[in-house]
Structure 1
Amino acid sequence: MSHAVAPAAIQTWSTEAVPQHQRLDYWIGAICEGFLEMDVTSTEARTFGATLESVPLGPLGVNRVRGTAQDVYRTRRAIAHSRSNYYYLLCKTDSPWVVVQDDRSARMLPGDVVLVDSRRCYAFHLLQSADTISLELPTAWVDAWLPDAGDLVAHRLDGRTGWGGVLAGFAQQLSPEVAARPPLPPALLTDQLGGLLSLAFGQSAAMPAAPDRGGRAALRQRVLDATRERHAEPGLTAAGVARELGISERSLHRCLADGATTFATALTGFRMQVAQRMLADARFDRLSVAEIGFRVGLSDASHFVRQCRRHLGHTPGELRRLR
């Protein structure tokens, strides 16, 4: 016999509930209430907006975040004030982002999956948007499926291939709406998720750490994508990008050399592309040359002028006059 089960209520927090100047503060309170204590900053505070939808699924929690680009931090102070802790399995499908936990970081591509532990400090750098499915997993539940879960945090699972792809597809289907009206008993769905966790992370642990020569083309593209994404960071180094991708600095330089380029050349090229675009657009005339240089990662205005003359053939002022 089947038994009808009343749908669970989806709890929703939205910054639309408060005036614009209060929205970032409201959002910090919302995620502290709906998730855990965390800090949030955003370069788009003046136009900030976000929503959080949350619903339980058996012992788990299904959460969907939508909103403006932001940086989220789980600090030691927040950990000390938290009564409960969880693992979180996160999947973001629309744009790349960066996750950091302990001394490990990973650049996540759309559709990839990652696990984090709220008992340890972490940071999420949601560079274009915050749209993410976040599954809240009790620590004891995760430990039953992944005995070495603590060693797997901030480890990128490719969401397009193998069991990682299957796990990513399953996680994306676990929206708040599905969790509120589950198509199968919650116990079956949560067991399915646990089994996929074991398969996906087991496969990942068995993969070779170093790519072969053929695989360096794909690695090179990841390095270039990560460098492009972070070009605006002053002082960005090859070592920093290598740490983010979980590879050695030697592997980074080797894969770039296979493509007849270097890290410095690639980084400068990305910065100059953006600078040229900004200097050609009248909407950016309100910014000084030094401000444009800072926005592309060059905090020294004179160095920025020299780089433009060398790589673009003109100074920033000349490029504005020539458009």
Structure 2
Amino acid sequence: MQVAPPDSSVRRWTTDAVADEQRLDYWVGAICEAFLEMGCSSRAARRFDGELTSLPVADVVFNQVISSTQDVYRTPTAIARGGAHPYYLITQWRYPWQLRQGGRLLQLRPGDAALVDSAQSYELHFPEAVGCLSVQIPRFWAARWLAMPESTQARVAARDQDWGRMLSALCVQLGQQPLLARGYPAALLSDHLGALLAAALEPAVTSGLPASGRQALLERARDLMRQRLDEIGLTAERVAVELGVSVRTLHRCFTAADASFAGTLRRLRLEQARAWLAQPRWARVGVGEIGRLCGFPDPSHFTREFQQAFGQTPARWRRTTHG
């Protein structure tokens, strides 16, 4: 039985809805319904606890999984019966776990992010418990971001290496609080995830542009972003189309400069808002309206982002600046 939360776009399953002796069977049905056909066993079967929350964001789906210890199997028979075979980006935030695919057993730490191809058999082992974010990624979306999406083995972005740090931080945060995704434009968050995934898994793949060309493209992109800061939901795809380049090329130029499209857009918006708040000619324009003109979807989002960046609310910044 699926439990309906207040937000109809969010799906939720919980073993609290069934009797103790039915919990593991219920859980197997829940993960097959939310993800795809898989087998599951647990040494805690007699008192199994599990909760699964599924939140669609643009083309991907964020799934928070919290449960007792378990072992999950994706078999050739299940693969043959299935239709679509998405990828899953899996990140545990608290417990170590194991992943076997393509004859290789990986020992993964909390925070490591692993990209698993459901078109290939795999095993997931959670010896202590499950507390993870599993992002369901369609194959067309993966091909948009990764030059080499298909692999017979899982690919890992380590929590303490290069762009893996940022990918890990994003996955851990959204794993623990998936509804935070509601505070950001869906397309922008989806693009940000794709850019981080590409940077973490394929750091050696370049955009094909020389360094001078990448710098020139970055400058053109930043100029265009400044001109269109008021567009709520401005995405890298729109900017790339206007610049006449692919989305992948645009993101790899940002990555080469140790930056990201989403992070740069956020910084430009906050810098513009701070500048306007300091100018007397904007004194009669409300704080919320300034945030909207800089592309923030609502006043609370603007206040939260501004305070995080500058250590005080926009209203307090304005009062302090104007004396």
TM-score range normalised by the length of the shorter chain: 0.5 to 0.7
| Alignment check: 8 A CA contact 1:145 1:195 kept | yes
Q: What are the Cα deviations for residues 64-102 of structure 1, in whole angstroms up to 9, with x where unaligned?
A: 110100000011111122222200001001111001112
**3-state DSSP of counterpart to 1:149:** coil
Do the aligned partners of residues 181 and 190 (structure 1) sit closer, same or farther apart at CA in structure 2, a change above 3 Å counting?
closer
- In the alignment, structure 1 residue 26 sits paired with structure 2 residue 26: yes
User: Given residue 139 of structure 1, which amino acid in structure 2 is its aligned partner?
Assistant: R
**Closer/same/farther in 2, CA of residues 152 and 80 from structure 1, 3 Å limit:** closer
Aligned counterparts of 1:95 and 1:21: Cα–Cα separation in 2: 26
Aligned partners of 2:71, 2:205: CA distance in 1, in Å? Answer: 29
- The answer for unaligned runs of 5 or more in structure 1 is 1-5, 207-323
CA contact (8 A) 2:174 2:181 kept: no
What is the identity, as a one-letter code, of the residue corresponding to 2:202? G
Q: CA deviation at 1:179?
A: 4.9
2-structure distance, mates of 1:146, 1:161: 19
The residue aligned with 1:58 is 58
Q: Is the 8 A contact 2:163 2:200 kept in 1?
A: yes
User: 1:160 offset after TM fit, Å?
Assistant: 2.5
Where in structure 2 are the equivalents of 1:158-197 lying within 5 Å?
Answer: 158-175=158-175, 178-179=178-179, 182-197=182-197
CA contact (8 A) 2:98 2:108 kept: yes
Q: Secondary structure at the match of 2:188?
A: helix
Structure 1 distance, partners of 2:109, 2:42, is: 21
Partner SS for 2:29: helix
- Tell me the residue number matched to 1:142: 142
Residues 88, 117 of structure 1: 8 Å contact kept:
yes
The percentage of counterpart residues that share the same residue type is 37
**Unaligned regions of 5+ residues in structure 2, if any?**
1-5, 207-323
Distance change (3 Å), C-alpha of 1:83 and 1:19: same
Q: How does 1:126-275 map to 2 (within 5 A)?
A: 126-151=126-151, 153-175=153-175, 178-179=178-179, 182-203=182-203
Aligned residue for 1:26, secondary structure, equals helix
Q: Deviations over 1:142-192 (max 9, x none)?
A: 012112122384233211231001111112233486457522211111111
* 3-state SS in 2 of match to 1:64: strand
Give the CA deviation at 1:119: 0.8
Q: Aligned with 2:142: secondary structure?
A: helix
* TM-score for the superposition, normalised by structure 1: 0.58
2:144 counterpart letter in structure 1 = A
Q: Is the 8 A contact 1:40 1:71 kept in 2?
A: yes
Q: Which amino acid aligns with 1:170?
A: L
1:203 match: secondary structure: coil
Per the TM alignment, residue 8 of structure 1 is displaced from its structure 2 partner at its CA by: 5.6
**What amino acid is the match of 2:94?**
D
Q: Work out whether residues 89 and 115 of structure 2, in 8 Å CA contact, stay in contact via their aligned partners in 1.
A: yes
Distance 1:186 1:7, change over 3 A: farther
Count of aligned pairs: 201
Inter-partner Cα distance in structure 2 for 1:150 and 1:124 = 19
Residues 152 and 170 of structure 1, relative CA distance in 2, 3 Å threshold: farther
Residues 42, 69 of structure 1: 8 Å contact kept: yes
**Measured at CA, do residues 120 and 59 of structure 1 come closer, stay the same or move farther in structure 2, by a change above 3 Å?**
same
How far, CA to CA, are the matches of 2:181 and 2:123 in structure 1?
32
Distance 1:105 1:203, change over 3 A: farther
Partner of 2:228: none
How many angstroms apart in 2 are the aligned matches of 1:7 and 1:157? 32
8 A contact 1:93–1:111 mirrored in 2: yes
- Conservation of the 8 A alpha-carbon contact between 1:37 and 1:82: yes
Aligned to 2:88: 88
- Write the distance in 2 (CA, Å) between the matches of 1:204 and 1:160: 18
Q: Which residue of 2 aligns with 1:213?
A: none
Aligned CA-pair RMSD: 2.2
Given residue 140 of structure 1, which amino acid in structure 2 is its aligned partner?
A: F
Partner in structure 1 of residue 320 of structure 2: none
Amino acid in the other structure paired with 1:31 = I
Aligned residue for 2:155, secondary structure, equals coil
